[in-house]
Structure 1
Amino acid sequence: MKTYTAKPSEIERKWFIIDATDLVLGRLSSEVAQILRGKHKPTFTPHMDTGDFVIIINAEKVRLTGNKESYKQYFRHTGYPGGTRYTSLKELRSSRPEEVITRAVRGMLPHTRLGRQLIKKLKVYSGPEHPHQAQMPQTLNLKKELSDNA
């Protein structure tokens, strides 16, 4: 039996829409990373982009567990000496809530050219509106698996 390798002409892409209201950030991000990577398909090939597009709406309503709201810090560097900048999750969530989900998903993807290609298929919006109706996205209901029962 030979190992199957997907060819670029054989890859079918779907669009999924996920409502992030009351979903735990880490659990949501790991599921989205799997869909973007294509691991939910039998045609998964590790070195190729076989995944689907994901639209996340209501990013401002995502839930966090523990004290991450007050303690989590995001790091960036300006490129200049002494240019280290830290932003708290609370600040980032109030100014750009879609960036919180994007960063969480990006951290769960490969840190290679493939990962940079995969993250472009993620579309995150802070409110319920999105401009991708023409792609006819299918709704994914992750509430049962991803809700915290604590």
Structure 2
Amino acid sequence: MDTLSYKTISANKTNVDKRWLLVDAEGEALGRLSSKVANLLRGKHKPNFTPHVDCGDNVVIINAEKVTLSGNKWTDKEYLRYTGYPGGQRSTTARELLDKNPASIVERAVKGMLPKNRLGADLFRNLKVYAGTEHGQEAQKPTAVNLKDLK
């Protein structure tokens, strides 16, 4: 058996094929949308996936204000932050965050599903989220992706 013919191909910055993808979040459940988008950002859907390389695609999400949550999560789910001062823990509900900044709900959900290191920070920069149907990436000509077709 010739072992030289079975070389493992490892992706790097020069041979990664990055595309622009457009995802419509209208009527999608937040968690399912976020996990599928995190896989697209990470590049796990590609045959040349390499864990330590940014081989994922650039993703544009539109209609972030039309995402859904099941049950009582609109009132019960809390987002915590800390001001840095004693007694400075602040919380806001999902409904309040949706009214204030709809894109941040999707951004927080996707960011929580990415690696917690420098690679995760680089992958998060490949995500653009917009509340309405208009987005600033028309020049990149993103191709629409149906999330129902993805695993």
TM range (shorter): over 0.9
Higher CA-based Rg? 2
Give, as a single letter, the amino acid of the residue that structure 1 aligns with 2:25.
A
Structure-1 residue corresponding to 2:103: 98
Following the alignment from structure 1 to structure 2, what is the Cα–Cα distance between the partners of residues 37 and 78?
31
Structure 2 residue runs without a partner (length 5+) = 1-5
Q: What whole-Å deviation, never above 9, does each CA across 1:49-75 have from its counterpart, x for those lacking one?
A: 100000000100011111110100001
User: For 2:134, which of 129, 133, 146 is the aligned residue?
Assistant: 129
Give the secondary structure class of the aligned counterpart of 1:105. Answer: helix
Q: Deviations over 1:60-103 (max 9, x none)?
A: 00111111101000011112222111111110011100000000
Q: 1:143 offset after TM fit, Å? A: 4.5
Matched, 1:5 2:10: yes
Instruction: Report the counterpart of residue 92 of structure 2 in structure 1.
Output: 87
Structure 1 residue runs without a partner (length 5+): none
Displacement of 1:2:
3.3
Quote how far apart the aligned CAs of 1:145 are: 6.5
Give the AA of the match of 1:52. D
Q: Stretches of 4+ moved more than 6 A in 1?
A: none
Q: How many residues align?
A: 146
Q: Partner residue of 2:35?
A: 30
The alignment partner of 1:36 has SS state of helix
Aligned 8 A contact 1:23 1:143 in 2: no
Structure 1 residues 55-74: aligned runs within 5 Å: 55-74=60-79
Residue 14 of structure 2 aligns to a residue in which SS? helix
Q: 8 Å contact 1:38–1:49 — kept in the other structure? A: yes
Contact (CA 8 Å) 1:25, 1:101: kept in 2 or not?
Answer: yes
